Amino acid sequence: MVERQKGMAGKYCGVELDVAFGVDLLVEDKVIAEIKSVQNVAPIFKKILLSYLRNSGKRLGLLINFNEILLKNGISRVVNGL
């Protein structure tokens, strides 16, 4: 199952928040996918995705940039906990 624009619970300064952040796609309640369409993927995009993974307890994230000639060149895998 894929959920779009999913609000995720998380912690901030030790306080539990019902909706701490929103992810573009949540796949099978395991993988967070962030969708972009930019000329250059800034390093901050990967850091933001990693913080989403840490706060949600998920292990795998995909940063997908649709502004590439070949889509496979626009997919970056981000792993939490390695």
Three-state secondary-structure class, residue 26: strand
CA nearest 63: which of 54, 50, 80, 76? 76
Extract the tokens encoding 11.
């912690």
Q: Are 32 and 45 in contact (CB under 8 A)?
A: no
pLDDT string in tens for the chain (82-residue length): 998 988 877 767 777 777 767 889 999 999 999 999 999 999 999 999 998 898 888 999 999 999 999 999 999 999 998 7
Extract the tokens encoding 16.
């539990």
- Alpha-carbon gap, residue 70 to 49, rounded angstroms: 22
- pTM of the predicted model as reported, rounded to 2 decimal places: 0.83
